[in-house]
Structure 1
Amino acid sequence: MQYTHLIPGSAPRQYCRAAPSLQVVSIRLAEIQGGLEWPLPVYGTVAARDHVDHNRNLLFARNRSECQILNEEDSFLTLTGPSRAIVSEESVVLEIQLKVRGRTKSQDMPLMNGVCSYYSRREGPICFRNCFCTVELSLEGLQRTVQATILGVRVKEEGSWPKAFGGRVACSVTGPDASPQEIELLDSRYTAMPMTSQGYLVLSRNVVSVDYRGSLNFVLEAYSDSGNKVAQKNESFKPKFSNISKQTCKLTGGIELEITVAWSSLVSEKWDISVQGCVLL
């Protein structure tokens, strides 16, 4: 959110431009072999490095004690990043280090270790393959983007979201370069909705790149304790170079949600950060 604080229309031109970025839509364990069987307890990291600071921008990060159980029906990693938009004016390095947890730490086994580079003109998913598995990264290169940080999805009235109900929050991006792929921000269809005491839904991921010529579209769903969808609402935001947008929507059954999004143009060079009085180390 480097430039969120800038007053719209008064910021220097170099801080108000839409830049190319890489959207990571999903990461899944596409297939397993070599004697591995479902379900698999997986932990490790998946990260991206761009030219802005060359630091790891974590997409997935879990230690051994909090591994994710993947099964054949749902083999997608729950993404927690990126923490900022992945700038793709130059090549982006993608790194993956995943392990399968064994009964003891000495019995843990490497699942996937790999590095590759993404170039903005490359199309289609990136696959990492070895003798044990195939990991597929679904990616999208967008040419004129700003960063959207979802600051909060809040249930406005305490108790209006039934305790037994689960839910799902996803978003998609429209625009000349964007495809209508859904990016999952929270999937709690079969469990109670994770929520803070102030009514904020606990999103697993909250940063996406948005085509400045398009829109950011949310899908909000509520599920009964039996797993049936009982309510759905779509809500759209028009992107900005800076500032904050806030909108309220109502789902069936009187569930009222408030969505808050912070907008920022992208940082192209580390120098842009240091001249604003904030240096990434």
Structure 2
Amino acid sequence: MRPRDGSEEEELLNKLSRYCRYWTDLWSDDSSDIAKRTEIGPMRYTEEPPRFAMLLDLLEVFSFEVTELTGILRWPIDVFGLISVRDSLDRNRNYIFERTRNNCQTLTAKGSSLVLTGPSRAILLMDPTEFEIELRVKGTSPSEDKILSAEAFGYNGTAQRHRCGSLRSMMLSGARSTLEFNYAHIPVALEATISVRITGGLTGFCGKFIAHTASIKEDVILLDSGEEMVAISHDGAIDFCRSVVALEGNGGVLTVSVHARQSGDENIICAYKHFIPELTF
């Protein structure tokens, strides 16, 4: 996804290009390729907890929404590219949104939220985190693709800790779009990894799976199949778009809910389950 030399697209990538040069100079000897995906996954200590453990702050990402188009772009748009974040665990990319040009998401003026696909593990706030955004609008050919948003910015968890425990928004304005980033700084938090398996009953249904915590009731969308059937594997497992949620470690309660219906039926069946963490250290 490199722009043509001297083009307007290259100018729009200036901020992101400067960040890439900074990261390469600082971390390439330790972390190799700037595009390397984090190799640290969730549930690392489920079977064998570490000898020493403590609760640290985590960042929960709720949504990225394109709230405005400016310049040459008009609705609807077919979007591809990436949004990723780096923390001090390994400095590699933890993808929040990732789509190839052949797998775009169509956004409209009334439906402009990106379907997030991460993070693949919790985002640690021990040191400042760094976000990268490179989103493009698909054209009739690769040479006609246009930059939607190209940003690099940081979040300093130490400096912002006085604002933790509530929903926050950040507006990211560029030459062609404005993105609204909704997030929360979760203090002394745990990483919850969620999976659902069908053990009986009907398997053909449309569904929306949601998680939220007691203190911040903003929804984390794990999966929203829309008008399509929920994909279920041969062993009954549902493949979520997202599966990791940050949860308050001190008195936190995680609620997982499902809103399901048969295709073409307006009757929605709702069910939910509360989970309370048990700390053993």
1:169 to 205, 209, 223: 209
Q: Give the counterpart letter for 1:126 in structure 2.
A: M
Matched, 1:108 2:145: yes
Matched, 1:4 2:42: no
Q: For structure 1, which segment, 109-118 or 226-235, has the greater mean C-alpha deviation from structure 2 after superposition?
A: 226-235
Runs of 4 or more consecutive aligned structure 1 residues displaced over 4 Å after TM superposition: none
* Contact kept in structure 2, 1:146 and 1:241, CA below 8 Å: no
Cα drift, residue 94 of structure 1:
1.1
TM-score by length of 1: 0.78
Q: In the alignment, which residue of structure 2 is the partner of 1:97?
A: 134
Equivalent residues in 2 for 1:1-281, closer than 5 Å: 1-6=43-48, 12=51, 14-15=52-53, 17-120=54-157, 121=160, 124-150=168-194, 152-157=195-200, 160-161=201-202, 163=204, 165-174=205-214, 178-212=215-249, 213-226=251-264, 228-241=266-279
Stretches of structure 1 lacking an aligned partner (at least 5 in a row): 243-264, 266-281
Stretches of structure 2 lacking an aligned partner (at least 5 in a row): 1-42
Q: Give the counterpart letter for 2:255 in structure 1.
A: N
Local SS of the residue matching 1:79? coil
Alpha-carbon distance in structure 2 between the residues aligned to 1:62 and 1:230: 30
* Contact kept in structure 2, 1:42 and 1:99, CA below 8 Å: yes
Alpha-carbon distance in structure 2 between the residues aligned to 1:241 and 1:98: 40
Alpha-carbon distance in structure 1 between the residues aligned to 2:127 and 2:216: 22
- Larger helix fraction of residues: 2
Cα drift, residue 30 of structure 1:
1.2
Q: Are residues 240 and 61 of structure 1, via their aligned partners in 2, closer, same or farther at CA, if it must alter by over 3 Å?
A: farther
Q: 1:60-84, CA deviations, whole angstroms, 9 ceiling, x for partnerless residues?
A: 1111000111112221111111111
Local SS of the residue matching 1:106? helix
Alpha-carbon distance in structure 2 between the residues aligned to 1:229 and 1:240: 36
- Residues paired across the two proteins, number: 231
Q: Are residues 54 and 227 of structure 1, via their aligned partners in 2, closer, same or farther at CA, if it must alter by over 3 Å?
A: farther
Alpha-carbon distance in structure 2 between the residues aligned to 1:227 and 1:118: 44
Alpha-carbon distance in structure 2 between the residues aligned to 1:161 and 1:201: 13
- Larger strand fraction of residues: 1
* Contact kept in structure 1, 2:203 and 2:232, CA below 8 Å: no
Alpha-carbon distance in structure 1 between the residues aligned to 2:78 and 2:226: 21
Q: Give the counterpart letter for 2:197 in structure 1.
A: R
Alpha-carbon distance in structure 2 between the residues aligned to 1:227 and 1:22: 37
Identity %: 29
Cα drift, residue 227 of structure 1:
5.8
Alpha-carbon distance in structure 2 between the residues aligned to 1:189 and 1:162: 16
Cα drift, residue 241 of structure 1:
4.9
Alpha-carbon distance in structure 2 between the residues aligned to 1:125 and 1:241: 31
Which of the pair has the greater relative contact order for Cα pairs under 8 Å at 6+ separation?
A: 1
Local SS of the residue matching 2:232? coil
Local SS of the residue matching 1:154? coil
Q: Give the counterpart letter for 2:175 in structure 1.
A: C
Cα drift, residue 229 of structure 1:
4.2
Alpha-carbon distance in structure 2 between the residues aligned to 1:20 and 1:229: 40
